[in-house]
Structure formats: C-alpha cells, structure tokens
Chains A and B, each alone.
Chain A
C-alpha cells in the first residue's frame, strides 16, 4: 500500500471463472484502513466480480483472503456483513414495500428477543439519515414512493448502520443529485478518518480525483497496478485500462466516399431521465455502434426504437417517413421493418422449451401463413435457407432450442429476425457469452447484411468489437450521446476516454463535438 502499513484486507491468487470465461485471473489485491481506494477498469475488466467476491455474493474458485490478518471465507452476503464488510451494490438492495426505517434496520433491528422496537428503529433511521444530511426523507415512508436519488441515500444509510470495517460502493452515487454527492463525499471522508477502508468503484474520473487516496486498475480480469492518487495523470490511467489482448478477425470495412442517405433518423429522443435528447442518423448499409460504459442508456435507446418504452418524446424517421412505433409488433411490420436482437436470449430472445423450428419462425410467422394455417412447406424452406446461411448446427428442428449451445442459440435468434427481411437491425450485445468462432461468423454476417443495404445499430460492451465492426460509434454517457467517433478516430483509446467523459487528445479532436 501507499503508506506501507499492514493492509486491512488482502486477497492472494484469487481466480473466478464463469463457464469458459475467466472473470478474475490470479488476482492479488489489498486495501488499507483509513484509505479511500478507487477501482478502475473498462466493462468486463473484473471489477464487479472482485467486489462480489469480497462481499460474499460469489465464491472464488481459488485463492485466499484475509481480513485483519485472519483468513476468511464468505458463503453468503450475510457472513461478509457479520465480518464487517458491507457493500452498496449498483442494483439497489432495498425492499420497495417496506418503510425507510424497516429497510435501514433490515437485518439487525433494535429490539429484544427477536421482536422489533419500532420507536428505537425509527430513531436509528432518523439519526443515520441526519448523518447524511437527508432529513427530508420520512422514516415511515415506503421506499417504493421515493425517487431513485433518495433510495440511493437510504441504501448508504443502511450500509452505515451496519458499522462496517470495509465499505464498498459500486457506482453508488450514479443517481444522486450534485448536492447529495457533496454530502456523501463529506461522510465518506469522515468515515475514512474514523479508520474505515472504503472501496470505491466509479466511472467518473472527477469523482475519483476528488475522493480517492489510492487507485487500482483492472484489465481482462487481472489486477494491473495500484498507485497513489496524483502519481499518474488521466492519460496514463486510460493507457493502463486499455490494451485488449485478444483480437478477432474482422471483415474489412468498406471505404466510403460520402455519407449514405440516412435510413434511420432519430431527433431529440428522450425518455424520463434515462435518455436525454438523443439525435443520431444511421445511413443505409451502415453499421453504427453504441459505446460507453454499461448502463448509460444504450439498452433503453434500442428498446425505445423498438416500441417497448412508454412516454417517449422526440421523433424517429425511417426511410424518410416519421413513425410512431408503439409496440414490437408494429416495429417489425413491413412499413418499418425493424428487428431487435435482445440482450438476454434466454428470456427475451427465445422460448427455450419450444422447438428450434417454432422459435425460428416466430417473428416471421405471419408471412408464412396461408389463411390461418402455417404453411409448413414454406416454413421449412425458409428455415433451411437460414440454417445454411448462418451455419447453425442443429440436429433435429423439433428439438427444444434449449438443447443447442449458446452460440447456436444466438444464431437462431438472429435467424428468427432475418426471416422477417428487416431493413433496420438493432443488436443488444449479441456476442455476450458465445464462443470466438461464432463471434467471427456474426461479425461477417453483420457486414454482409450492411453491404446488402441493411441498416445496423449495434450495442456491445466489448470495445474491441466497436473498433472492429463499426463504421461509426456513438458514445453514451448519462443517457446522452457524448461524442461520435468515425473512421480512424474509432480507437480503443478514444472509446475509453469518451466513456469516462475525458477529452480526447488534441490530434484526435476531429471527432464530432457532443450534440
């Protein structure tokens, strides 16, 4: 550690694999009491897995962990909490139907013999909320009636109430108002001075600059380096974060003389505070990537275009005609001709117990129907064509789609949508959790589709894919398009810098300014 004292927490040789994917690879990591320690890394660098292991949510495959010099293992979050490790997760862990006071004292409420003393519990909630400068929240209010920013404050109050030795914050300030953020900072600094170790995960460089004492950078599941704040500038930090080791083979991008006429034009699209004033034009035959850190509105943008979200403002023009898309059913109609390859193929992409055949023809079934009867012959012919085209390895079409491998399942999802002859294809992280070979086939397929005139909007968490596949990349930050990169400006370095809301280097400043 920076000050050389004995670390409060030390883990040695910790690895974790999910199926074929290594999330953490032989990681040594330690943090000291009375320090605020920031953890940095791009998507999939292993930050989440790291804190989940520390907080007892998942168990490491190998390695040892020590708290205060004593070896520990946690089989559940409850055990980690008892040991003094409290984590504020990004996806909140509040119970919406319970009151604020109930939530704050959920595990060890004040009282006796297993009975809760409601008055003491209320006072405790009031004290903790007051510590955070959050007196406007009434302790008997139901959590579900509070806005997200208040819920996040309650989450922090709940964590403080557990008297942690190590407090972990995973993007815990993302929804807070600026005033709240300052209050939380003050509390965190005070806690640090009281001797807590604070692990802080954030993608906001200015937060890290303001708060952290130490920084650790993770990349590809490895701990790259730990350094004291101020010893490296932003550029050097970005340098440490990038540098992917595997490179896929990507099909060549066509050289474009001029921008093609826009097929999809999005103007001032907003949805609550999750999407703000998004404007983006995508040309015919163009592949546009959506980049940025996870959860900046990319998923919502695709859902908004596909008619899943209610209460959208702004305008969407497809092929020169303004469209109000109110449902996926409407989105796929020939007048619009849109397809969405969803994020989670197991819940949104496929009906797992149904056959490969039924899944493949699900979206295009109307075109394969004569009267009310499905034309089995035409259906079989179309499916056969798709299986050839996508090289799907399938034994019997009547088998449940659940029996296929992950890569082949994803190909079935894609086949299902290609059968509708979509003009606009939206993809939400289509290569997550599939093997390298299938990934490359998908890249080639996307390029072939684009060359044939299909318009493609492609969200991926893998920056390498943005660089390799896309003609243009829009980087989202806090529900806005922060920057568009094109041509030679699409580099991993620029993508990471943009995702962190840092300025590009001078030589790269040809990229479009934020809208």
Chain B
C-alpha cells in the first residue's frame, strides 16, 4: 500500500487535473441539449487535441527548467507547410506529411542548438526563433490559403464506430508511442534530472546537453504534429501571429494546470493534455451557461492562478529566507 500512497503523492497534480476536467466536462455535457452527443464530443475533441499537442510540446522544455516561447509559432509554421505539401497523390501526401513532421523537428533542433550549445537563456532564444518561424510561415502563406488531402483530413478529424474521435486516438497514440518511451529512456530521465538539480546531474555524470537537446527536438516534433492536425481541421494554412502567440501562452497555462513545475524536474506531458482540455472546456462552459464569451480570459486567469498557488505551497516551508531568492 505504500506503493499506492507514494504514487498518489507523486502524481497528485495530474490526478487533480483529471478530476477537474471530468467535473467540468460533465457539467458542460449535462447542460448541452442536443440530438447528437457524438458531434459535441467530436468538436470538443478536435479543438482540445490541438492545444493538447502544443502543451505537450511546451512540457518537455519546461521539465528541463527551460521554456519554449516558439511552440505556437512552430505550430503555425508547420500548419502553413502542411497546407502546401500534404496534397496530391497518396505518395505526395505521405512525403508531405513526413516533411511537415521533419520541419517541426528541425525548428526544435535549432532551438536546442541555441540553448544547449549557444548557452543562451531559453526564453530569449525561443522568443527570437519564434519570430523567425512566423516569418517563414508568412513567406509560405502571405494570405490564408492552400489545401490538404481531403480524405485524410476527414478521417483524422472524424470518428470511428460513429462515436470515438480519431483525433483523440491519434493523441493517445502520440502519448503511447512517443511520450511514454521517451519518459522511460535515459534521455528522458536526463531531462528530469537536469530540471531538478542541474549541478547534481552534472556531478552524477548525466549527459545534460544531450537530454536538453532532445527535449527541444521533441518539443518541435509535438508542435509539428499539432500544426499537421490544425491543417486537417481547417483545410487551409494561415500565418496568424496572434493565434500562434495565444497558443504559446495557453500551452504554458496548460502545463502549469497539468501539474508540471515551472522550476523543472517534476510533472509530465499527460498532465498537460488535461490542462489543455480544462482550458478548452472553460470556453464551452461559458457557452452552455449563456455567459458572454468575453469572460473567457478572466476564467482562464482564475484557474491558472489557482493551479499556480497549489505549486507555490513550498514557499511556506522555507526556513531560510535567502532560499526564496535562489
């Protein structure tokens, strides 16, 4: 039973976010009068999955005690690239999909190279690269447009067995085949170690540089997958800087709500997924309770503050005030 108790203590941020999400979604679903509940779930899933993927992209650098301000722009950039490449013959579509994913990884690679080898602060490095990525997006799509393979798009944004959204299945697959193996790998462990106590990790002989580098590349990969899914949802590419910025900010909020510490070292991508779902459900709740959608930022802010306060309880335990500043 110690086992269970320890696991609960370790994952309470994650569990709390799952519970909050279920309560909120039940409220939403229970108050939504509709003839087609599957369609309600589908549209909620499709918007949720996008932010969930971007939030996963944000999680990995945050675990290393970094931050990636470019995830939203990588998302926009890969959306624009997908709107140009994922069309044509099946072979072209396949090649285009691979190219989109690789371009996401490449953007993460650049971030990682600057942060790890250039030793620049992650915030400022990714702020700069975010401008570059939106710049590339604008070069590709000066005006919204482009196209995407219709069959593939309809499949990935549709349902199987007329009820389960394929987007959710895709998200689960990303978790099972990318995140979980990473979490179980020496590389992933290195990210947690570097975020928890970089000096101790170095003294223990952990390859910090390689782990941090992997964190940013993986972040680019997740953001690229989100960009791809965005294209399937909208059938178009749009280089919208405000939208990219909003995704970045919401991704940070989702990471925190999902129980990942901004100091690094604890948390995980699954929590961030539920953090993203919570943020998205706030919008839906405002809708079903007939509240002005303008209240959305206010509610998101309150939820975010509550989530951060839970994490800040440690401050009360500090007995040497100098530690507050370090």
Give chain A's interface residues, CB within 8 Å of chain B: 57, 76-78, 81-82, 89, 92-99, 102, 106-107, 109, 111, 114-116, 118, 138, 140-142, 145, 158, 271-272, 300, 303, 308-311, 327, 348
Contacts of B163 in A (CB 8 A): none
Q: Are A309 and B321 in contact (CB under 8 A)?
A: yes
Give the secondary structure class of B's interface: helix
Contacts of A116 in B (CB 8 A): 184-186, 189
Give chain B's interface residues, CB within 8 Å of chain A: 2-3, 6-7, 9-10, 181, 184-187, 189, 192-193, 195-197, 199-207, 261, 264-266, 318-322
Question: Which of B185, B199, B204 gathers most chain A CB within 10 Å?
Answer: B204
17 A–B contacts from the bound complex (CB under 8 Å)? A77-B205, A95-B204, A97-B196, A97-B197, A98-B189, A98-B196, A102-B192, A106-B189, A106-B206, A107-B206, A115-B186, A116-B185, A116-B189, A118-B184, A138-B6, A142-B6, A158-B204
Min CB gap B175→A, angstroms:
16
From A92, A99, A114, A138, contact of B2 by CB (8 A): A138
What 5 A-B pairs come out closest when comparing CB atoms? A78-B205, A97-B265, A97-B196, A93-B203, A95-B196
Q: Are B195 and A97 in contact (CB under 8 A)?
A: yes
Q: Are A115 and B184 in contact (CB under 8 A)?
A: yes
Nearest B residue to A118 by beta-carbon distance? B184
Given the known interface contacts A95-B192, A309-B320, A311-B319, the answer about A77 and B184 at a Cβ–Cβ threshold of 8 Å is no
Nearest B residue to A109 by beta-carbon distance? B186
Alpha-carbon separation in the docked complex, A78 to B210 (Å): 14
Nearest B residue to A82 by beta-carbon distance? B205
Q: Are B322 and A96 in contact (CB under 8 A)?
A: no
Nearest A residue to B205 by beta-carbon distance? A78
Q: Are B319 and A95 in contact (CB under 8 A)?
A: no
Nearest B residue to A300 by beta-carbon distance? B320
Known: A95-B204, A141-B6, A310-B318. 12 other contacts (CB 8 A): A78-B207, A95-B197, A96-B196, A97-B196, A97-B265, A106-B189, A106-B193, A107-B204, A109-B189, A140-B7, A308-B321, A310-B321
Q: Are B200 and A93 in contact (CB under 8 A)?
A: yes
Contacts of A158 in B (CB 8 A): 204
Q: Are B319 and A309 in contact (CB under 8 A)?
A: yes
Min CB gap B27→A, angstroms:
33
Alpha-carbon separation in the docked complex, A105 to B6 (Å): 19
Q: Are B185 and A115 in contact (CB under 8 A)?
A: yes
Alpha-carbon separation in the docked complex, A98 to B10 (Å): 10
Alpha-carbon separation in the docked complex, A165 to B6 (Å): 35
Contacts of A145 in B (CB 8 A): 9
Alpha-carbon separation in the docked complex, A61 to B146 (Å): 62
Contacts of B197 in A (CB 8 A): 93-97
Alpha-carbon separation in the docked complex, A81 to B207 (Å): 13
Alpha-carbon separation in the docked complex, A311 to B318 (Å): 10
Given the known interface contacts A97-B196, A140-B7, the answer about A102 and B205 at a Cβ–Cβ threshold of 8 Å is no
Min CB gap A273→B, angstroms:
12
Contacts of B203 in A (CB 8 A): 57, 77, 89, 93
Contacts of B181 in A (CB 8 A): 115
Alpha-carbon separation in the docked complex, A387 to B144 (Å): 66
Given the known interface contacts A97-B192, A309-B320, the answer about A114 and B206 at a Cβ–Cβ threshold of 8 Å is no
Alpha-carbon separation in the docked complex, A76 to B192 (Å): 21
Q: Are B195 and A94 in contact (CB under 8 A)?
A: no
Contacts of B265 in A (CB 8 A): 95-98
Contacts of B264 in A (CB 8 A): 97
Min CB gap A93→B, angstroms:
4
Nearest A residue to B322 by beta-carbon distance? A308
Q: Are B184 and A303 in contact (CB under 8 A)?
A: no
Q: Are A93 and B319 in contact (CB under 8 A)?
A: no
Given the known interface contacts A78-B205, A93-B203, A107-B205, the answer about A98 and B185 at a Cβ–Cβ threshold of 8 Å is no
Contacts of B261 in A (CB 8 A): 97
Contacts of A102 in B (CB 8 A): 189, 192-193
Min CB gap A122→B, angstroms:
10
Alpha-carbon separation in the docked complex, A74 to B261 (Å): 35
Alpha-carbon separation in the docked complex, A78 to B6 (Å): 31
From A142, A272, A310, contact of B10 by CB (8 A): A142
Q: Are A114 and B185 in contact (CB under 8 A)?
A: yes
Given the known interface contacts A140-B6, A141-B6, A308-B320, the answer about A114 and B196 at a Cβ–Cβ threshold of 8 Å is no
Contacts of A107 in B (CB 8 A): 204-206
Q: Are A98 and B193 in contact (CB under 8 A)?
A: yes
Contacts of A98 in B (CB 8 A): 189, 192-193, 196, 265
Contacts of B189 in A (CB 8 A): 98, 102, 106, 109, 116
Question: Which of B184, B187, B205 gathers most chain A CB within 10 Å?
Answer: B205
Nearest A residue to B319 by beta-carbon distance? A310
Min CB gap A68→B, angstroms:
20
Alpha-carbon separation in the docked complex, A167 to B172 (Å): 46
Nearest A residue to B314 by beta-carbon distance? A144
Nearest A residue to B182 by beta-carbon distance? A115
Alpha-carbon separation in the docked complex, A303 to B196 (Å): 26
From A57, A95, A348, contact of B200 by CB (8 A): A95
Alpha-carbon separation in the docked complex, A450 to B181 (Å): 66
Alpha-carbon separation in the docked complex, A158 to B204 (Å): 9
Alpha-carbon separation in the docked complex, A102 to B266 (Å): 13
Alpha-carbon separation in the docked complex, A93 to B196 (Å): 11
Contacts of B195 in A (CB 8 A): 97
Min CB gap A345→B, angstroms:
14
Nearest A residue to B264 by beta-carbon distance? A97
Q: Are A272 and B319 in contact (CB under 8 A)?
A: yes
Min CB gap B35→A, angstroms:
47
Q: Are B185 and A77 in contact (CB under 8 A)?
A: no
Contacts of B205 in A (CB 8 A): 76-78, 81-82, 106-107
Alpha-carbon separation in the docked complex, A142 to B186 (Å): 18
Contacts of A327 in B (CB 8 A): 321
Min CB gap A146→B, angstroms:
12
Alpha-carbon separation in the docked complex, A327 to B324 (Å): 13
Min CB gap A298→B, angstroms:
14
Min CB gap B261→A, angstroms:
8
Min CB gap A318→B, angstroms:
20
Nearest A residue to B200 by beta-carbon distance? A93
Q: Are B200 and A303 in contact (CB under 8 A)?
A: no
Contacts of A309 in B (CB 8 A): 319-321
Q: Are B186 and A114 in contact (CB under 8 A)?
A: yes
Alpha-carbon separation in the docked complex, A320 to B10 (Å): 50
Contacts of A141 in B (CB 8 A): 6
Min CB gap B194→A, angstroms:
9
Alpha-carbon separation in the docked complex, A114 to B182 (Å): 9
Contacts of A95 in B (CB 8 A): 192-193, 196-197, 200-201, 204, 265
Contacts of B6 in A (CB 8 A): 138, 140-142
Alpha-carbon separation in the docked complex, A99 to B201 (Å): 14
Alpha-carbon separation in the docked complex, A109 to B205 (Å): 12
Nearest A residue to B317 by beta-carbon distance? A310
Given the known interface contacts A81-B205, A96-B197, the answer about A303 and B192 at a Cβ–Cβ threshold of 8 Å is no
Question: Which of A76, A78, A81, A95 gathers most chain B CB within 10 Å?
Answer: A95
